Amino acid sequence: MKKLIVLAALALSPVFSAQEMVNKPVQSYQTAQYQAKRKAFVENLLSKMTLDEKIGQLNLPTSGDFTTGQAQSSDIGKKVEQGLVGGLFNIKGAEKIKAVQKVAIEKSRLKIPLIFGMDVIHGYETTFPIPLGLAASWDMNLVQQSARVAAKEASSDGINWTFSPMVDISREPRWGRVSEGSGEDPYLGSEISKNMVYGYQGKDLSAGNTILACVKHFALYGAGEAGRDYNTVDMSHVRMFNEYFPPYKSAVDAGVASVMASFNEVDGVPATGNKWLQTDVLRKLWNFKGFVVTDYTGINEMIEHGMGDLQQVSALALKAGIDMDMVGEGFLTTLKKSLDEGKVTQAEIDMAARRILEAKYDLGLFDDPYRYGDAKLAAKEVYNMENRNIARSAAAQSMVLLKNENQVLPLKKSGTVAVIGPLVNNSLNMAGTWSVATKHAASVSLMQGLQANYGKEVKFLSAKGANIDYDAKLEDIYAAHGKKTDRDNRSKEELLKEAVDVANKADVIVLAIGESAEMSGESSSRTEITIPQSQVDLLNELKKTGKPIAMVLYTGRPLALTNVKDIPDAIVNAWFAGSEAGNAISDVLFGKVNPSGKLPMTFPRSLGQVPIYYNAKNTGRPLSQDKVDKCVYERFRSNYMDECNTPLYPFGYGLSYTKFSYSDMSVSNPNPKGNQTIQAVVTVTNSGNYDGAEVVQLYIRDIVGSITRPVKELKGFQKIFLKKGESKKVVFDITPESLKFYNGELKLDWEPGEFDIMIGTSSDKVRNSKINWTKE
């Protein structure tokens, strides 16, 4: 018997506790009464400050040079004492942080507390999957909860400001930093962006267990030419507003407390000195009220950009709307001179100082400068079992089943499994990039996870099989930040032989291959986006054993898997899954968790297709759908002679151990008018053999516009859980809001006419219905 259930809202994540959910933060600075109080306090303080002390508030050094006990005597300590530091970052530990705060409170003239920042990007010590992986969960409760856990851990250990969320849209898998963002789509990116802000900041920034979020990198950092980090960006304003700006704006709308400027240029001016960006768009258009910080030495780098000397670029940044200078001390060393010479105004310096003081006020630091960081609390809050369980669940939810033939997965809980790959016994690489506070040695490796969870029923044998790369020098570069890859100096043949011997003793092979953790992340651009040859050779060699192969993919970016995808029977994309990686991968391999992740970024067939993304424009010479589907070349059409137009795995794609069938879709009204709301409805049935979750996706195409419109755009999604045999009716409300776009005058509006409404399991598999929406 199939049950029909009307779905009310988003499906519940199994790990989410309802009391924690914050939907709309009521930030303190939103009430007039609060603002008046804050204003009185901050203006009074400003009136007592010297010019040096004001400029000091704009200075954000990295901690670096002291250990506990040396806070006061260190260089930074001396500057803190003189009131020349506004905040510090990259300092870890409640006691250490307290010691520096003590210098500020007890030794500096005005006793202004410091803020303490850190790159808490995907968790603090308890580490969640890399952000691109978390995005693949399409589970907004989980996304929000991951930020909530990170905020609780970090704040208990003294941190009150995170440089997250990173929301740079990117269509460029060569760029290593796609691992830190949520992929290619502005809608999904915007949903994630706001939920991260809600999770970090909660309802009350002074609660003690919430922290300031910092949306970054503003703006367009993900669109650097050729995927080379820090490279030039050049983009039309129509594209910026419609495709790249939405996730930043979403964070601003959610009340994000701070913004980080990006390294790249925008319209020929580095973002750090770009007034149009940091003031006209961010503050005037979007009404941003918080403070803007540069990225690491972002001001100084404008010298290399060719914008002038340190004094000039520092003045440029201040005038553009930058409030805080990360590391470079351009503000600290030149603003006074610029003021004397009339190159900046007192009002501009006061404004920046005011914004930093307001943030400190919002955190409650003037009431209690030691509010954040308590060693006893940290011992309870940080890396506790509850948080690790949430991270484990998040990691399993992030995994994407790319292929599963011959029912290789889930694995049987019996017999012998050969676990092979360069990182199967490696903990250090499990967290992935940007994991500053992670307890790396404690991260669960694949072998540890398998043994701990199924070691009683299943015999696991392991072998390395290959190094990450044949080239030892390259592998050294890949093993950055201490994330060693345990290079094995035996010959290629010896490594392969050992792996084949182990495989021959097993019933099935679990082969974990792909990238090491720091092959993606900052300054980790690649010109090839394939699995290194050493590991492809291993796969081919194991194939000869005739044993079934379940491949686990480690990656921080979309890879071109064309040369490997036909060889294994199954592929699970595990990304870099965090502290609990090995446990979560075991959960998926053995079917404790049925994978439900969907790709947040297109996987191309080859690098030559890049940039390739689902929400592309049609062009004037599109290839017919039939030819696209059959991969047929046609001269004088927009296609390649030597490659299909379709990607290997499209945006929104991901399989399950069960099967979901979609009914035809219907719309409640094919001819809506004005501000009406209509419903698009589909019934989804779990017609396979396992319970499981499905992400039902809504896309819309605006068929005729005053500017060209994408062939489809994601406009909604619902993650639903269906028991075996169960059906659910999924309803999407559609209003003109979903039809809006920035037109040629950069005005946000919708245009009447025909729209194609599409619902499906991925961006390339949809049912559709045409509607005609008129203004009146």
Binding stretches for ligand BGC (CB under 6 A): 119, 163, 216, 295-296, 522
> How are the residues of the chain apportioned to helix, strand and coil, as percentages rounded to the nearest 5?
35, 20, 50
> Least distance in Å: CB of 296 to ligand BGC?
4
**Cα–Cα dist 509/524, whole Å:** 30
> Least distance in Å: CB of 548 to ligand BGC?
42
From residue 511, alpha-carbon distances to 447, 535, 708 in Å are 11, 10, 45
**547 phi and psi, to 5 degrees?**
-80, 150
Closest CA to 49 of 322, 327, 352: 352
Cβ burial, residue 313 (10 Å; 0-12/13-18/19+): buried
> Least distance in Å: CB of 291 to ligand BGC?
15
> Least distance in Å: CB of 119 to ligand BGC?
5
Tokens representing 338? 């610029």
Tokens representing 648? 């290997």
> What letter would DSSP give residue 359?
H
The residues that bridge with 66 in the sheet, in sequence order, are none
> Least distance in Å: CB of 161 to ligand BGC?
11
Tokens representing 694? 């499905």
From residue 182, alpha-carbon distances to 131, 254, 582, 602, 604 in Å are 6, 17, 23, 12, 17
Alpha helices in 418-532 (DSSP H): 446-454, 472-478, 492-504
Tokens representing 251? 């964070």
The residues that bridge with 683 in the sheet, in sequence order, are 729
Packing angle of the helix pair 385-398, 581-589 (nearest 10 deg): 50
Residue with tokens 């940080």: 382
Query: DSSP string spanning 152-182?
Result: HHHHHTT--EE---B------TTSGGGGGS-
Q: Closest CB to ligand BGC among 77 and 181?
A: 181
Q: Closest CB to ligand BGC among 166 and 588?
A: 166
Q: Closest CB to ligand BGC among 297 and 453?
A: 297
User: Sign of the CA dihedral 546, 574, 612, 516?
Assistant: negative
Strand order in the sheet with 753-762: 713-722, 692-702, 753-762, 765-773
Is 295 tagged catalytic?
yes
> Least distance in Å: CB of 293 to ligand BGC?
9
Cβ burial, residue 414 (10 Å; 0-12/13-18/19+): exposed
**773 phi and psi, to 5 degrees?**
-105, 115
> Least distance in Å: CB of 112 to ligand BGC?
22
> Least distance in Å: CB of 521 to ligand BGC?
10
Q: Closest CB to ligand BGC among 220 and 510?
A: 220
Q: Closest CB to ligand BGC among 216 and 605?
A: 216
Q: Closest CB to ligand BGC among 60 and 700?
A: 60
Q: HSE, CB side, 13 Å, CA atoms: give it for residue 438.
A: 32
Residue with tokens 């941003």: 288
Packing angle of the helix pair 310-320, 346-362 (nearest 10 deg): 60
Alpha helices in 383-524 (DSSP H): 385-398, 446-454, 472-478, 492-504
From residue 197, alpha-carbon distances to 104, 117, 222, 371 in Å are 28, 15, 20, 21
Q: Closest CB to ligand BGC among 185 and 295?
A: 295
> What letter would DSSP give residue 127?
B
Q: Closest CB to ligand BGC among 67 and 523?
A: 523
Closest CA to 375 of 69, 124, 97: 97
Residue partners of 220: CB distance under 8 A and separation at least 6: 168, 233, 235, 240, 244, 262, 264, 266, 271
Residue type at position 372: Y
Closest CA to 26 of 505, 503, 362: 362
> Least distance in Å: CB of 217 to ligand BGC?
6
Cβ burial, residue 18 (10 Å; 0-12/13-18/19+): exposed
> Least distance in Å: CB of 688 to ligand BGC?
42
> Least distance in Å: CB of 517 to ligand BGC?
16
The residues that bridge with 554 in the sheet, in sequence order, are 514
**101 phi and psi, to 5 degrees?**
-60, -35
Q: Closest CB to ligand BGC among 119 and 139?
A: 119
Beta strand residue intervals within 227-283, DSSP E = 258-261, 265-266, 269-270
The residues that bridge with 162 in the sheet, in sequence order, are 118
> Least distance in Å: CB of 114 to ligand BGC?
16
Catalytic annotation, pick one of 139, 168, 185, 295: 295
Q: Closest CB to ligand BGC among 296 and 721?
A: 296
Q: Closest CB to ligand BGC among 98 and 216?
A: 216
**Cα–Cα dist 663/653, whole Å:** 19
Q: Closest CB to ligand BGC among 278 and 426?
A: 278
Closest CA to 729 of 682, 665, 659: 682
Q: Closest CB to ligand BGC among 40 and 477?
A: 477
Report the residue number whose CB is nearest to ligand BGC.
163
If one counts every other C-beta atom within 10 angstroms of the C-beta of residue 737, the result is 12
> Least distance in Å: CB of 216 to ligand BGC?
6
The residues that bridge with 285 in the sheet, in sequence order, are none
For the annotated catalytic residues, the residue numbers are 295
